[in-house]
């Protein structure tokens, strides 16, 4: 027994030594890293802010109710861009697609080099009338307060990025910069309601045989306080985005009076179906993509967390369960299921003849729309319930972290903002970027501004705003990136 005990103790000690050694060798600790500040002359900062404020005043709203785009708003915004950025419009060729979307091409000096592309969108979501009173400033007034904050719908999603790109091209064009490869800008007009403009632009580019080396769209950013256990600012570069599908789960019955109820009703059948799929979520998987993310941020964490990440061979299930306690991180690990709507009945004493439940899925790249539907039918397993697909699209593929594009983006982040950690991630919302996979070797999502705690709820929510310093950061990043990626060697 003594010999067995010694063997067990020795084995445990060996495992502990290996775990600590892996931690020390692979993931050296470092102190929190502050993001390097970007300076600009006051008049430049003010001009950026004024131009974004002016862009916000154009009510380029996508309502999603089938209404046509507001022609005056979009035509006015097009004219605003031409008037505000004259050098950029001399340097670039502009083309209107699908009535309101814009393609800009900045011709490069070397036609043999693959072009690169940057996308943003002009449209914004509506501001509900019932929520207007909660805004600090009129959401379409383009107010700049005394602290340099630009208030209004679209400041963050996505006119801020669009204006930063135009400021960048204007600045480089004024300096006489000529890219050594074609540089494209694509500005969609209906991203918020499905991206028909981006789809049309991608189809046009494909028909012309255009193939980008890489493309950047919105979808991730630099974050502070968003990654548990990490104090440094972290730059998240998204490699892909989730798909989505909505299922309508409906049932019919003959109805009757509530004084003589049956064991079930159309309402209870639909509700039970919604409950069953929600109560049987997709399993959580700490896959290679999330593993890369964890390895990227591990040096910023305490020793215990680094031990766990360095030794996933032993800690994967435990770490997976701990990460799942954070809803945002849990969403990265599986296809999510959300029971969002229920409709049935007309009166409290009438057994309903019809009931429906609406369930929305956000599909992880390892799953498919067809697989989601089949799984829902199998879980419900009730011929009285009809499972109907409402729209739907598969997730995108995941772009490479070994490509020219990722290397350029990550390197420029460090050049401009300092040695802050960069980490690959997955976008859980929809973007126009998904349409460009057929015309780009890699598609990334990164907006170079800082999300702080509470900022995410401003997007599509109340009091959307951006500080003028974030515009300065964006222009500095895009200027450095284009100069690096498209300069004549």
Domain identity same for 222 and 123: yes
376 and 463 inside one domain: no
Please tell me the predicted confidence (pLDDT) of residue 489. 56
Domain boundary among 348, 373, 393: 393
Q: Out of 158, 190, 191, 442, which one is annotated catalytic?
A: 191
| Among candidate residues 393, 416, 449, the one where a domain is terminated | 393
Closest to 433 (Cα-Cα) out of 406, 390, 399:
399
pLDDT for 33-69, tens place per residue?
Answer: 888 889 899 999 999 999 999 999 999 999 987 889 9
Residue 113: CB atoms within 10 A of its CB come to 15
Q: What is the mean pLDDT of residues 328-340?
A: 93
Indicate if the pLDDT at residue 4 is higher than 50: no
Give Dmax (Cα) for the chain. 87
Mean pLDDT of 212-220: 97
Retrieve residue 113's tokens. Answer: 């080099």
The total of other beta-carbon atoms located within 10 Å of residue 410's CB is 19
- Nearest to residue 408, comparing CAs of 213, 163, 164? 213
Residues 73 and 162 in one domain: yes
Q: What is the pLDDT of residue 462?
A: 94
Token pair 């500095």 is at which residue?
Answer: 476
Per-residue pLDDT at 2 exceeds 80: no
Question: Stretch 460-483: mean pLDDT, rounded?
Answer: 96
**Residue 301 and residue 354 in one domain:** yes
Q: Report the C-alpha gap between 374 and 384 in whole angstroms.
A: 16
- What is d(CA 78, CA 95) in angstroms, rounded to the nearest whole number? 11
Residue 84 domain boundaries: 42-241+397-485
Position 173 confidence tier, pLDDT thresholds 50, 70, 90 = very high
Question: How many separate domains does the chain show?
Answer: 2
Query: In this structure, are 358 and 408 located in the same domain?
Result: no
pLDDT value for 457: 84
CA-nearest of 333, 341, 381 to 358 is 341
Domain-embedded: residue 445: yes
Dist CA 109 CA 106 (whole Å): 10
The verdict on 86 and 154 lying in the same domain is yes
Residue 179 lies in a domain: yes
Q: Is residue 36 part of a domain?
A: no
Report how far apart, in Å, the C-alpha atoms of 463 and of each of 150, 186, 450 are: 10, 27, 16
pLDDT exceeds 50 at position 18:
no
Domain with 275 in it: what CATH number?
3.30.70.360
Total residues belonging to the chain: 489
Q: Are residues 236 and 277 in the same domain?
A: no
Asked whether residue 11 is assigned to any structural domain, the reply reads no
Mean pLDDT is lowest, of 26-40, 229-243, 314-328, for: 26-40
Rg (CA), the chain: 26
Is 367 in the active site? Answer: no
pLDDT exceeds cutoff 50 at 15: no
Query: What does the alpha-carbon distance between residue 252 and residue 249 come to, in Å, rounded to a whole number?
Result: 11
Tell me the pLDDT of the chain averaged across its residues: 91
The residue-averaged pLDDT of 250-265 equals: 92
At residue 432 the predicted structure's pLDDT band, cuts being 50, 70 and 90, is very high
User: pLDDT (tens digit, 9 = 90+) per residue, 223-238?
Assistant: 988 788 888 899 999 9
Q: CA-to-CA distance for 256 and 349, rounded, in angstroms?
A: 9
User: How confident is the model at residue 329, as a pLDDT?
Assistant: 85
Please give, one letter per residue, the 3-state secondary structure of the chain: CHHHHHHHHHHHHHHHHHHHHHHHHHCCCCCCCCCCCCCCCHHHHHHHHHHHHHHHCCCCECCCCCCCCCHHHHHHHHHHHHHHCHHHHHHCEEEEECCCEEEEEECCCCCCCCCEEEEEECCECCCCHHHHHHCCCCCCCCEECCCCEEECCCCCCCHHHHHHHHHHHHHHHHCCCCCCCCEEEEEECCHHHCCHHHHHHHHHHHHCCCCEEEEEEEEEEEECCCCCCCCCCEEEEEEEECEEEEEEEEEECCCEECCCCCCCCHHHHHHHHHHHHHHCCCCCCCCHHHHHHHHHHHHHCCHHHHHHHHCHHHHHHHHHHHHCCCHHHHHHHCCEEEEEEEEECCCCCEECCEEEEEEEEEECCCCCHHHHHHHHHHHHCCCCEEEEEEEEECCCCCCCCCCHHHHHHHHHHHHHHCCCCEEEEEECCCCHHHHHHHHEEEEEEEEEEEECCCCHHHCCCCCCEEEHHHHHHHHHHHHHHHHHHCCCC
63 and 82 housed in the same domain: yes
Angstrom distances, CA of residue 392 to CA of 230, 245, 369: 35, 4, 7
Q: Are residues 186 and 291 in the same domain?
A: no
The answer as to whether 90 is a domain residue is: yes
**405 has a pLDDT exceeding 80:** yes
Query: Is 33 within the bounds of a domain?
Result: no
**Is 252 a known active-site residue?**
no
- Residue 118 confidence (pLDDT) above 60: yes
pLDDT attached to residue 211? 98
CATH of the domain at 161: 3.40.630.10
Same domain, 320 and 377: yes
Provide the token pair at 277.
């799929």
Burial class (CB in 10 A: 0-12, 13-18, 19+), 5: exposed
Give the residue-averaged pLDDT of 329-355.
94
Q: Is the separation of the CB atoms in 39 and 137 below 8 Å?
A: no
Region of residue 418 (phi > 0: left; psi between -120 and 50: alpha; otherwise: beta):
left
Mean pLDDT of 479-488: 92
Percent of the chain scoring above 90 in pLDDT: 75
Position 85 in a domain: yes
Do 59 and 73 belong to one domain?
Answer: yes
- What is the per-residue pLDDT for 467? 94
Domain co-membership, 250 together with 221: no
Tell me whether residue 77 is in a domain: yes
Neighbours of 127 (CB within 10 A): 21
Q: 């539907």: which residue's tokens? A: 373
> Does 480 score more than 50 pLDDT?
yes
pLDDT of residue 488: 60
Rounded to whole angstroms, the Cα distance separating 431 from 241 reads 8
% of residues, the chain, pLDDT over 70? 94
User: 15 or 282, which is more confident?
Assistant: 282
Q: What is the pLDDT of residues 127-138, one digit of tens each?
A: 988 878 899 999
User: Looking at residue 456, what is its pLDDT?
Assistant: 79
pLDDT at 285 over 90: yes
- Quote the CA–CA distance of 295 and 308 in Å, as a whole number: 11
Angstrom distance (rounded) from CA 296 to CA 317: 19
In this predicted model, what pLDDT tens digit does every residue of 76-92 receive, in sequence order? Answer: 999 999 999 999 999 99
Domain stop point among 373, 393, 413: 393
Active-site hit among 123, 217, 394, 464 = 123
Q: Judge if the upstream peptide bond of residue 158 is cis by omega within 30 degrees of 0.
A: yes
């Amino acid at each position: 027994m003594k010999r067995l005990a010694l063997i067990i103790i020795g084995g445990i000690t060996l495992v502990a030594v290996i775990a600590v050694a892996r931690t020390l060798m692979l993931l050296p600790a470092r102190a929190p890293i502050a993001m390097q500040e970007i300076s600009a002359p006051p008049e430049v900062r003010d001009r950026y802010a004024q131009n974004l404020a002016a862009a916000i005043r154009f009510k380029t709203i996508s309502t999603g109710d089938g209404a046509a785009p507001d022609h005056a708003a979009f035509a006015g915004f097009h004219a605003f861009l031409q008037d505000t950025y004259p050098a950029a419009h001399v340097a670039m060729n502009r083309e209107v697609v699908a009535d309101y979307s814009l393609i800009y091409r900045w011709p490069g000096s070397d036609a043999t080099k693959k072009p690169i592309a940057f996308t943003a969108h002009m449209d914004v979501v509506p501001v509900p009338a019932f929520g207007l009173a909660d805004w600090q400033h009129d959401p379409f007034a383009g107010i700049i307060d005394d602290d340099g904050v630009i208030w209004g719908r679209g400041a963050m999603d996505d006119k801020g990025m669009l204006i930063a790109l135009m400021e960048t091209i204007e600045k480089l064009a004024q300096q006489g910069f000529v890219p050594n490869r074609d540089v494209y800008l694509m500005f969609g007009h209906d991203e918020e309601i499905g991206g028909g403009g981006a789809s049309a632009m991608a189809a046009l580019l494909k028909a012309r045989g255009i193939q980008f080396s890489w493309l950047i769209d919105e979808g991730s950013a630099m974050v502070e306080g968003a990654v548990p256990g990490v104090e440094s600012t972290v730059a998240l570069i998204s490699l892909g985005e989730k798909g989505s599908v909505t299922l309508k789960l409906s049932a019919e019955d003959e109805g009757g009076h509530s004084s003589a109820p049956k064991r079930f009703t159309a309402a209870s059948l639909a509700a039970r179906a919604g409950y069953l799929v929600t109560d049987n979520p997709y399993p959580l998987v700490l896959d290679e993509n999330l593993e890369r993310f964890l390895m990227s941020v591990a040096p910023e964490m305490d020793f215990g967390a680094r031990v766990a990440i360095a030794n996933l061979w032993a800690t994967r299930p435990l770490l997976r369960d701990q990460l799942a306690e954070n809803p945002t991180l849990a969403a990265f690990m599986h296809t999510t299921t959300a029971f969002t709507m229920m409709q049935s009945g007309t009166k409290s004493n009438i057994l309903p003849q019809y009931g429906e439940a609406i369930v929305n899925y956000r599909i992880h790249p390892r799953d498919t729309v067809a697989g989601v539907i089949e799984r829902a039918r199998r879980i419900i397993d009730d011929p009285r319930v009809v499972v109907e697909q409402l729209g739907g699209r598969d997730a995108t593929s995941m772009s490479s972290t070994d490509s020219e594009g990722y290397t350029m983006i990550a390197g420029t982040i460090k050049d401009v903002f300092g040695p802050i950690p960069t980490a690959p991630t997955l976008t859980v919302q929809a973007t126009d970027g998904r349409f460009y996979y057929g015309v780009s070797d890699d598609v990334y999502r990164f907006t170079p501004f800082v999300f702080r705690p509470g900022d995410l709820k401003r997007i599509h929510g109340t009091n959307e705003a951006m500080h003028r310093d974030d515009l300065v950061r964006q222009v500095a990043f895009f200027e450095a990136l284009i100069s690096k990626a498209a300069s004549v060697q």
